Amino acid sequence: MTEARVRERLAAAGWDWRRSGTMERVWPDGTFWRCTYGATRAGRCEGDIPEGLIFATGDEVFVVDVLGFTDPAGMGFEGVDRTVAGLDLLAVASPGGTLAKNVLKPLMARAAVFRGRSVRPVGLSGFMLEEMPRRPAGPLIPAIAAADGSSDRWLDVAFAALDAGMLHVALEAFDRALAAGAEPGLAELWRGWLLMEADPAEAATAMERAADGGMAGPATCLLAGIRPVDWERATREGPGYLLGWLSRVLELGESGRAREALRVIDEAAALHPGAKVHHYRGWLHALLGEEDAALDSLAEAVRLAPWTTEEILADPDHHGLRGHPDFWRLTGRRAAQNEQDSHATEVLRRLAVQTAARAADGWRRATFTIGGGTKGNYTLPDGTLKNHGLPFDLRKALRLDRGTAVTMVVHPSGWFEAAVGGRAENAGAACVLDEEALPSGPGDEVDGPADPTQAGNPAEAVRLLRAYLQRREEILGYSDELPPPAAEREDMFADLDHPLPDDLRALYDVMDGDDHQGLIDNGYDWLSASFVSELGSDHYWMDNVPLFDPDPWRIMLDDGPPGAVRRSIDRDGWIPFADGGNNEYLAVDMDPGPGGRPGQVIRIGLRRDGPTYVADSVTSLLRRHVEALERGDWTCEDDDLRIDLGDMALARENENGPDASTVWACREVLNPGHNTQSLWVRGGGDIDLGAVRGTRLLKLELTQCKSADLGPLQDTAVEALTLQDMEALDLAPIAGHPTLRAVRVRAHHAVDLEPLVAAPRLYALDLCGSPVMDLAALGRMGRLRYLSLRYEQWQELWRQNITLPGLAMAVLSDDPSPSLIAEWARRLPRGGGVQHYIGQY
């Protein structure tokens, strides 16, 4: 049916059917075209592809290539250059959307450029990529839509296409930028990079133009991959490009001209006085047999950049130095500079010895991290990882506090290094700079109760207690012997920071707890007045629990009526009155949220993620016990009376708790319920978040989605937002969001942070997975307390002298080495408290 519809529609436009999936047409000017069409399972994307290219039937969407954009050469036909047509097609697409990967990617990837310069769509990787100068870019589709013919706009398109992996588009956009008058340096440099494999001659020409346009350093380094180059020109015309100097030195040293290379490295050192230059100088002295000078240069490299120690000690080019005693003293020099603790050094050395002894033949290195847990692995000869445990309790041996991190690397060549201090993070390290400045939770940021009156009634509570005890006696056949009221209860309760609610206070005029009989909620012991006074004044079970969560995205959900209980780890106004064992308590809440009332009953405890709402008062809790007994909603076996308390029961709290949902957007409809507070949307195309409006959403994660209009989030109280592996992302719709606290971004393109500057409660950002348009925006975020970046991003922050005076927790991502962790921590404001250890074993 769909085949017939396609043929019928195209026939009306002058197309002739050739065979299934292929039609052809001769235009009035004699131009001959063939078009192909096929099915995609991308979902309905009418808003993404111009009208006339889409035919829908059932769950399938057929894409018709009326422009001949998909290369017909794969079907045995002569190829045609369709890249320009493809760009024009994209330019009329909806600016707010992106084409699904399994539509756009095949179209672009197979759009071969038949001018002898085809680019293989293998993604961005290869020689010098990290060294290539570039400009940040946003999503591809809006960049194309905004292209107005100017060179700057086409450069935006080119770099957006690079981020999206659309190399044909990037190449065409660089061509258009140059045609519009762009300076040749940057555009020709990237044209050369793109064409290196497909058309080395054209790539070389492009790099020559780039060199003439002010990019002599990187252009020459790229050109060296095609033909011999003039390195002297590269350093003369691009002296600020260090890689050019190092490449020139390398060529001279490897060609037997080490003495001349030394003179060049001295010139480089005057402009680039860093560790790399000293490392290369050490290599040159080693080539000349000048071992003492070589070791002095290598020692200076280690001093300037401790994280290069691993590279230097493991470098095969230094094999000739390994017999020299001062070679291994490089670790000793570094150890002395570190002012290492001798006991800790010996513990780590012992661990290195035992780790090496347990390793398989040919192992390359061993790494492990302890923090919240312990993980470790050996790198085997084939590069695979093998898990390993610690031979002894390292935390105890080093006398470390709980939570203190250790990252250690052991090398088979006989040395080790470790970073001790800070906190362990997944694939990274963290330093708490000011614990008191970290937010303790959203509970402090809401108003008090709209209704400040207590829901309980003292006289009714006493009546219900007596009715409850009487009904228990009738069921069990004996009465509960309860302690009489404590004579000094008034003095005991006077020590509390908050007074007890009136109904609970009245009950202590009748009895002093239940003497461990477990009267409440099927086993909770009603505490005596003395214990209530003690626990209410000193929440000792929370002594070792920080009042902040080191993971800002682990949001505490809102249990019970909206806003009834403040979402905090602990509060002075939570007064335990019943003990469920294992540091689990029923408490009265005398510091409720705007939707609660003083005296409401909650569950709190060490193992809980947060408080759980139980009842509006002790009176209501007792009433539920009595009503259940009167209805017969109970069982009793061997004097064990179990009462069905309905939604107040401990056993039912998971059923009644807030909803946390996962939606596979590629095959499910996004339809969250009103009580959905945590939502994870995985996969799919352009996500419509309109369905979240009006929900109690607090946490949202979008993973591997093409794009999403974040505007509907303005109609929610969302606090934590994760945008993971997004193809196109625009934060403008959430500018100034009133409740947003934490944002994590992993995008395929550079992200503009400016919309987040005005978010009044935003305190946590994780940007390690995405380039950023302008890091200076971070300096304008007055409430920023938590920041996670890659080391290169931290370096750029320091280079721009961007200050973050309120920063309280810093995170370094991407599995950094111990020396890099220590160096990073040293440069943090107020210091990171990380000690670097290095030694031999």
Range with the lowest mean pLDDT among 78-87, 160-169, 468-477, 531-540? 78-87
Please tell me which residue, 666 or 726, carries the higher pLDDT value. Answer: 726
CATH superfamily of 342-425: BH3703-like domains (3.30.500.20)
The answer to whether 340 and 328 have CB atoms below 8 angstroms apart is no
Give the pLDDT mean for 332-339.
Answer: 72
Which of 5-19, 756-770, 808-822 shows the lowest per-residue confidence on average (mean pLDDT)? 5-19
Domain boundaries, the chain: 1-114, 259-333, 342-425, 445-655, 658-807
Express each pLDDT in 643-680 by its tens digit. 999 888 877 776 667 777 787 766 667 788 888 899 99
Q: 10 Å Cβ neighbour count for 638?
A: 4
pLDDT average, residue stretch 39-59: 43
H-state helical runs in 51-147:
83-91, 101-109, 140-145
Cα(817)–Cα(308) distance, rounded to whole angstroms? 10
Model pLDDT for residues 593-642, shown as the tens digit of each residue: 999 999 999 999 888 888 999 999 999 999 999 999 999 999 999 888 99
Between CA 813 and CA 792 the distance in angstroms is 10
Range scoring the smallest mean pLDDT among 469-483, 662-676, 806-820: 662-676
544 vs 825 pLDDT, higher one = 825
Q: Which residues contact 331 (CB under 8 A, 6 or more apart)?
A: 309, 313, 415, 838, 839, 840
Residue 142 confidence class, pLDDT cut points 50, 70, 90 = confident
Which residues partner with 429 through β-bridges?
A: 424, 812
The 10s digit of each residue's pLDDT in 520-530 is: 988 999 999 99
Whether the pTM exceeds 0.85: the reply is no
pLDDT exceeds 90 at position 455: yes
Max avg pLDDT among 75-89, 453-467, 680-694: 453-467
Instruction: For the chain, give the mean pLDDT.
Output: 83
The reported pLDDT for the residue numbered 771 is 85
Instruction: Determine the pLDDT at residue 245.
Output: 93
Residue 813 forms beta bridges with which residues? 428
The more confident residue out of 414 and 420 is 420
Residue 237: its pLDDT value, please? 86
CA dist 123 → 142, 161, 748 (Å): 21, 11, 12
| pLDDT interval class at 110 (50, 70, 90) | very low
Do 171 and 194 meet the contact criterion of CB atoms below 8 Å apart? Answer: yes
Residue 108 has pLDDT above 60, yes or no: no
Dump pLDDT digits (tens) for 485-510: 999 999 999 989 999 999 999 999 99
3-class SS letters over 598-643: CCEEEEEECCCCCCEEEECCHHHHHHHHHHHHHHCCEEEECCEEEE
Could you tell me which CATH number the domain at 658-807 has? 3.80.10.10
pLDDT digits (tens, 9 = 90+) for 154-212: 999 899 888 877 777 788 789 889 999 999 999 999 999 888 877 788 889 999 999 99
**1.25.10, 1.25.40, 1.10.357, 1.10.10: which CATH number matches 259-333?**
1.25.40
Separation of alpha carbons 23 and 385, rounded Å: 53
Helix or strand (DSSP H, E) at 487: none
Q: Three-class SS string for 245-296?
A: HHHHHHHHHHCCCHHHHHHHHHHHHHHCCCHHHHHHHHHHHHHCCCHHHHHH
CATH class of the domain defined by 445-655: alpha beta
